Amino acid sequence: MPTEIKKPLITKIKEKLFSDLGLELSMLRLDEIHAEVNGNKWYKLKYNLEACEREDKKMLVSCGGPFSNHIAALAAAGKLYGFSTGAVIRGEEHTPLNPTLAKAAELGMQFVYADRTTYRDKFKVQELAASHFGGDSFWIPEGGSNAWGLMGCMEILNTVEESPDCICCASGTGITVAGIAGSSKGRNKVWAFPALKGADFLKNAAEGWVGKTIASEINFVNDYHFGGYGKVTKELIDFVSFFKEKHDIQLDYIYNGKMMYGIYDLAGKGLFKQGSRILAVHSGGIQGNEGFAINKELLEIGE
């Protein structure tokens, strides 16, 4: 398979807030490993792509929301590695397509839409995909959350030479932080920042992936969802702008912006032990910012 994926680099975040507290903050730049198939999405797709190839399937099929980073990455990966792609998209069809879906369509992805009630039933979603795209396609669950996705996520820290004290990562399905915790085997404390409101279920999800002992090493911080998935506030928007101007690193509003805001806030409250080396994982996803800029109300901005 092609090897266009680059080794992720680590960027030191120089900030007086952290240096005054005796903390070191760095960022693992998964957002830079590829122009389109980047972030944790690459790690979740990597072994799924190999499995699809082994099974001699010609089409990759999954599901996601209309601004899904997973859908964007899947379409790009399919184009890059020579697979057709299809997706069940949550909600009604809207034209013209938003930037995420327009780009996916440009890369050859086909769509079928499921209303929100149908979409909640993942068995019905998979049945819809099979009937529309054919039962011989290779199915990848939403967000790449399967055993192959977990295997890939357990490689995220492979290039990190110096062991940090704390690893921080945004969380949607829980599989990325589960993989990170599984690979660190208790050597590092993993802090997960869910992008969803009421994400207590993520602890059970992580236990299901890596077991209770390893999952117990994950500290789920549920205070920085900013109202729920797909919701942002002016305070968060201002923080993302500040971070870009100060450090020349673009964050997305749904995942990494919330995580970094949380890290700053927790540091200011003294929640990190003095002398701690903190590694924040930039999990990519900034493709969604284009749609945000064009149609802000779609991301449900609150106060």
Residue 288 sits in a domain whose CATH number is: 3.40.50.1100
pLDDT of residue 303: 30
| 1 domain-assigned | no
> Of 167, 159, 288, 301, nearest to 227 (Cα)?
301
Tell me if residue 22 falls in helix, strand or coil.
coil
Strands (E), the chain: 10-13, 24-29, 59-64, 84-90, 110-114, 138-139, 166-171, 189-194, 218-220, 232-233, 277-282, 301-302
Which amino acid, 88? V
Residue pair 11/251 in contact by the 8 Å Cβ criterion: no
Question: The domain containing residue 207 runs over which residues?
Answer: 10-34+154-302
Query: Do the domain assignments include residue 26?
Result: yes
Q: Report helix, strand or coil for 163.
A: coil
Report pLDDT for 298: 45
Q: Are residues 213 and 80 in the same domain?
A: no
pTM of the full predicted structure? Answer: 0.93
- Among the candidates 92, 124, 144, a domain finishes at 144
Give the model's pLDDT for residue 77. 96
Q: Could you tell me if 92 and 112 lie in one domain?
A: yes
Last residue of a domain, one of 144, 162, 192: 144
Say how many domains are in the chain: 2
Q: Which residue has the tokens 């900013």?
A: 226
Based on the fold, state whether residues 120 and 208 are members of the same structural domain: no
Smallest CA-to-CA distance from 67 within 298, 300, 288, 230 is with 288
| Residue 194 DSSP code | E
The pLDDT value recorded for residue 3 is 60
- What confidence score (pLDDT) does residue 281 get? 98
Q: Among 144, 171, 194, where does a domain finish?
A: 144
DSSP-based three-state secondary structure for 169: strand
Residue 4 lies in a domain: no
Residues of the chain with pLDDT below 50 are 297-303
CB 201 within 8 A of CB 178: no
Which residues have a Cβ under 8 Å from the Cβ of 103 and sit 6 or more positions away? 72, 75, 287
What is the DSSP secondary structure assignment for residue 80, as one 8-state letter?
A: H
Identify whether the C-beta of residue 71 lies closer than 8 Å to the C-beta of residue 271: no
Q: How far is it, in rounded angstroms, from Cα 280 to Cα 258?
A: 12
The predicted structure's pLDDT at residue 293: 64
Give the Cα-Cα-Cα angle 190, 192, 196 (nearest 5 degrees).
170
